[in-house]
Amino acid sequence: GAVVSQHPSWVICKSGTSVKIECRSLDFQATTMFWYRQFPKQSLMLMATSNEGSKATYEQGVEKDKFLINHASLTLSTLTVTSAHPEDSSFYICSFTGGLEQYFGPGTRLTVT
């Protein structure tokens, strides 16, 4: 299957700062990418869907001004958590669709202190 990378794999930041997470598809051109977050012992929650070259579509309850998504190319999408707070601490996972399959990155563990 396709390979998806995320960087960084984990990050610790102070409250009020911004953090950027990169998601790259290494061997596939992804027109649509998904961003999820996962709190401890919970399932994945879809945050937003982004299509290359257009604005992301956010799920209900996800603040678009706080979670900035940029899907600038077919192989790169970024999620920026702006003015992070401790409640934003979570596991963030990117994903993209390739035909009938969906491929996931390894995730980024964000801890806001």
44 sits near other proteins (criterion: CB under 8 A) = yes
Of 17 and 71, the one with the shorter C-beta distance to other proteins is 71
CA distances for 99 relative to 26, 29, 31, 86, angstroms: 16, 11, 11, 37
Interface with other proteins (CB under 8 A), residue total: 23
Q: Is 84 helix (H, G, I), strand (E, B) or coil?
A: coil
22 sits near other proteins (criterion: CB under 8 A) = no
Residue among 7, 13, 24, 45 that touches other proteins (CB under 8 A): 45
11 sits near other proteins (criterion: CB under 8 A) = no
Phi first, then psi, for residue 101 (nearest 5°) are -105, 155
